[in-house]
Structure formats: C-alpha cells, structure tokens
Copies of this chain bind each other. A is one copy, B any other.
Amino acid sequence: MDQHITERLRMNDLHTHIVSADEAASWIQDGMTIGLSGFTRAGDAKAVPTSLIERAKTETFKINVFTGASLGFDLDKLMAEAGIIHKRLPFQADSSMRKKINDGSLYFVDQHLSHTAELIRSKVLDPIDYAIIEAVAITEEGLIIPTTSVGNSSIFIEKAKNVIIELNLTQPAELEGLHDIYSPNEQGERGPIMLTSIEERIGEIGIRVDLAKIKGIVITQSLDSPSTIVPPDEETAQMAAHLINFLREEVKAGRLTNELAPLQSGIGSVANAVLHGLIHSEFENLEVYSEVLQDAVFDLFDHGKIRFASACSITLSEKKMNEVYANLEMYRDKLILRPQEISNHPELIRRFGLLSINTALEADIYGNINSTHVSGTKMMNGIGGSGDFARNARTAIFVTKSTAKNGIISSIVPFASHVDHTEHDVDILVTEQGYADLRGLAPRERALVIIHNCAHPMYKDQLLQYFEEASLRGGQTPHMLEKAFSWHTRLADQGTMLEKQLSPSL
C-alpha cells in the first residue's frame, strides 16, 4: 500500500474498501438520492460524480442530488447537461444548471441552508441512498476528516444508507484538526447548542460513521476548483466605504465598539469586495461567523484584522489558495469549520448578534429583497444562507449596485419581482450611492430613505413619482398594483426600465 495512502487512511480494516471511482459510480441506480459533500465549490466529492456523468453517455438514469451548497469541478454543469438530475437541492450556482432549472428540465428546491439537515432528520426529504463525501483522512478510530468544507456532510453520513468516501491525497493534511463536528439531536429531543463564543469547540474533529455503511473508498488527487471572484471595482469600493461609514455611526451611537460584532458575509464578488474594504478601516480584532470564508477573510487575517473565523467552507481564488495552503499552520488556530446547520443556526446567529452582509439582486422601495429570481421568474443561484442570517442577525445588511447592465436595470424597483427577504428582515441597504438605515421605520419612511440614499440618480424621480402617486391611494405600503411591475415589463418590452427612454419626443 502506498505510504501516502496509509498516512491518510489510518484505519487498516478499511484498506480493502478501496475501489475505483467507476466502480463506486456503478452502484448509483436510477431513482436514487445521493448526498454529495461540497459547499460553494469547496470540498466537493469529485471523482464519483465525474464517473457517474461519464456513465450517462451510455445509460439513461435520473437521480436526486443533495449537497451542502454549490459544487465546483463543473459538476453541476456536467450533471445538468448529462440530464441525470431529477431534483437538486439546496443551492447551485452554475449557468448550465440554471438553464435546465429555468427551462423546466429539472426540479430545484431552493432552501435556507440551515433547513436541509432538519428536513433530513425529520424524514421529510427522500432517504439518502449514498452519501459521497470527500475526506482528507480517515483516523485510526474511523473518524472521517472532511476537507475544505463540512456543509451537510455530517448529516449525510449520519442518515445515508451507504457511504462512499473520496479520500483526497492532494488536499493538505493540515486540514485535520480544523473541523468541529457537532450533531444536534432531532428537533424536540435536543438541548441548547452550548457555544457561547465563536472559537469554542463542542464536537469532534471528524465525522463519526457506522463503519458497516462504508461501501467504498476512492482515492483522488485534485484540489478544489478555485473561485472566480471578481476583484473590487470602483463601485464596490464605494459600497465598502458606505458600509464603513454606517459602522462608524454605530460605534458613535454606542451600539458597537471598534471590534464590531461577528461578521457574516455571503458568497460572491460583491460581498467579498465589501468585506475587503475593512482592511483599511480602524476596526480590528474582528470575528467572522459565516458560512463561507472567501479571499477577503484571509486578506483581513493577513492584515492582522481578524481574531478568529468560524464557517462551514473555505472558497478561494487560485492565488489565495496557494498562499493559504502554503501557510495553513499560520491560520489553523484561528479557524474552525462546522456543519452548515451550526454555522447557519438561528440559535447561534441570534445569540452572537451578527452583522450579516448579503447580496441582493433587487430591492423594492420598501426594502423587500429579491436575492434569487431575475425578473421574478428565472432562478439565478438560490437563497443560500441569506435568510438564516438576515432574520436572526443583530443587523441585516444587504448590498447591491444601484443599477445593472449599464443602467438599463434599476436594482431599486417599485415592487420586488420576487421576495426572498421581507421588509421585516432588512435593516440596512447599501448601494454605491449610499446606505439606508431602515431600522424602526414604517414602510412610508423606508421608501423615502431608500430612494434618496440608495437609488441611482437617473431612477430617483421615477421612483419618487411611483411612490407619491401610490401614496395618494393610501395604505401602510402604498402601491398601484396595475403598475407595480411596469418597470420589469418595460425592460422586457423596451429594453430598459427607464421611462420614455425610447420616446421620440426626447
């Protein structure tokens, strides 16, 4: 046995379980439900799904695919294109899969990322036939050590009928010891989750498994696909500046100190860029309690800004991944990776009092947020953990550029074409124009602050006109339903949300 393997596969009894990816993939049958490790490209099972996709070239089958969140390695793309998915949950972020979701070829169940484990525990979702989980090691006692994400891997292993481990020899061995695997019992039979600070440990360093369920171990050697984060630009720098101004006002008002409160930041370039802006602020000794740690968190570490970070995945660009992996020892005692039902648990988010920063696709004048649906119908990625955080945070912050596609789309609209977060859950809205502090305001007050502080100048009058005309009809939340979506229909018909843009008289 290869020494590299024996160092990673330390439970000797399991050496006989090593199989090829093709063989493991051959066990997955039409109609089955599989649970894959992987959260925002990090720590995904890579080899068996790839073999499964290969199998689809000569065989027709459909399966349900559950994950932590989005997968890397083009797996969502290739599975969608191979047509092997019947149902996918709880999150994805791939353009081909998006296309298949929106043309109706596969069902996508868009879930709060903390909910999936509960639905599995309570036997609401289809039973999982195979959990396919990437590991960096299996210990002497048979603990499965995850790699760069925990996601739903622990609940998949706990509840699946069968388990396949992808033992990844290339993921850094130093990941071992980083995880804290804690499994709450079923709802109604559980106690408090005894975390009182973000760096505490309440679980084990790996996932405990009924060894009889391990059907195969596949040896793999690929790193995660790097993230393709867009670097900060002028507008995201402005958004970061507005966010910092807001935080300064909070400190002045005695609501926060310069250590702020644990930060959460959603996936994606905008949230990453905004967080990145804290590097050159006066805030320090920061804590991060989030679902995903992107480049910005490690940049903040490198600038001595962060005291500790807890999450359920690490998703980095290629450059940052090389840097971080080369110095993993440096970060190890400042990092914990937890299951997503813990990283995203309402109990903990509320207790810690997070400052949560998530991205909006569009916001309406009352501060209802659309995070997912382009023009109310086409799925972009999914709600992810944004609802887990926004509902329970100390301060729920949403960020979006005020316009999209060179201004033909206003991100601030009269009526959100899809609502993922209601006005009750949206405290602060930030665009490159400014920020709106909506806390304690009634809808009619919210509208004015949002329009004045956040809307792009070219859309302000148009928004004010809608609001004022609607207000004449009265209501807690004034609207003219016959015109509520006129901005979206104008975009579809005339190619812009701007009024009279195409009128010959202009």
Q: Are B485 and A445 in contact (CB under 8 A)?
A: no
Q: Are B474 and A188 in contact (CB under 8 A)?
A: no
Interface size class of A (residues with CB under 8 A): 35 or more
Q: Are B440 and A119 in contact (CB under 8 A)?
A: yes
The CA-CA distance from A160 to B372 in the complex, in Å, is: 41
Contacts of A87 in B (CB 8 A): 442
Q: How many copies of this chain sit in the oligomeric assembly?
A: 2
Q: Given the interface contacts A439-B119, A484-B485, does A377 sit within 8 Å of B477 by beta carbon? A: yes
Residues 105-121 of A at the B interface (beta carbon under 8 Å): 107-112, 115, 118-119
Contacts of A482 in B (CB 8 A): 485, 489
Q: Given the interface contacts A377-B473, A475-B378, A476-B378, does A122 sit within 8 Å of B424 by beta carbon? A: no
Q: Are B391 and A471 in contact (CB under 8 A)?
A: no
The CA-CA distance from A87 to B440 in the complex, in Å, is: 9
Q: Given the interface contacts A347-B346, A474-B378, A481-B376, does A188 sit within 8 Å of B261 by beta carbon? A: yes
The CA-CA distance from A101 to B443 in the complex, in Å, is: 11
Determine, out of A138-146, A147-155, A210-218, A413-421, the stretch whose residues face the partner at the interface.
Answer: A413-421
Contacts of A49 in B (CB 8 A): none
Q: Are A351 and B192 in contact (CB under 8 A)?
A: yes
Q: Mark A352-391, 1 if CB is under 8 A from B, else 0.
A: 1100000000000000100011011111000100010001
Contacts of A111 in B (CB 8 A): 424
The CA-CA distance from A119 to B261 in the complex, in Å, is: 15
Query: In the complex, what residue of chain B is closest to A287 when comparing beta carbons?
Result: B188
User: Whole-angstrom distance from the CB of A95 to the nearest CB of chain B?
Assistant: 14
Q: Does A269 contact B (CB under 8 A)?
A: no
Q: Does A500 contact B (CB under 8 A)?
A: no
Q: Are A488 and B477 in contact (CB under 8 A)?
A: no
Determine, out of A22-30, A123-131, A299-307, A459-467, the stretch whose residues face the partner at the interface.
Answer: A123-131
Q: Are B350 and A187 in contact (CB under 8 A)?
A: yes
User: Whole-angstrom distance from the CB of A423 to the nearest CB of chain B?
Assistant: 8
Q: Does A441 contact B (CB under 8 A)?
A: yes
User: Whole-angstrom distance from the CB of A300 to the nearest CB of chain B?
Assistant: 19
Most-contacted residue by chain B among A261, A373, A442, A482 (CB, 10 A): A442
Q: Are B419 and A422 in contact (CB under 8 A)?
A: yes
Residues 380-420 of A at the B interface (beta carbon under 8 Å): 383, 387, 391-392, 394, 417-420
Q: Does A504 contact B (CB under 8 A)?
A: no
Contacts of A351 in B (CB 8 A): 187-188, 190-192, 347
Query: In the complex, what residue of chain B is closest to A480 when comparing beta carbons?
Result: B377
Residues 181-197 of A at the B interface (beta carbon under 8 Å): 186-188, 190-194, 196
Q: Does A339 contact B (CB under 8 A)?
A: no
Most-contacted residue by chain B among A196, A419, A471 (CB, 10 A): A419
Q: Are B187 and A376 in contact (CB under 8 A)?
A: no
Q: Are A115 and B479 in contact (CB under 8 A)?
A: no
Q: Does A502 contact B (CB under 8 A)?
A: no
Query: In the complex, what residue of chain B is closest to A197 when comparing beta carbons?
Result: B188
Q: Does A102 contact B (CB under 8 A)?
A: yes
Q: Does A231 contact B (CB under 8 A)?
A: no
New contact pairs (7) apart from A188-B262, A387-B424, CB-CB < 8 Å: A87-B442, A107-B445, A125-B439, A187-B352, A378-B474, A378-B475, A484-B485
A–B pairs, 23, beta carbons within 8 Å: A102-B474, A104-B471, A110-B476, A111-B424, A115-B424, A123-B253, A124-B440, A186-B353, A187-B351, A187-B394, A192-B196, A346-B346, A347-B350, A373-B477, A376-B479, A376-B481, A378-B476, A379-B477, A391-B391, A417-B479, A418-B477, A419-B419, A484-B485
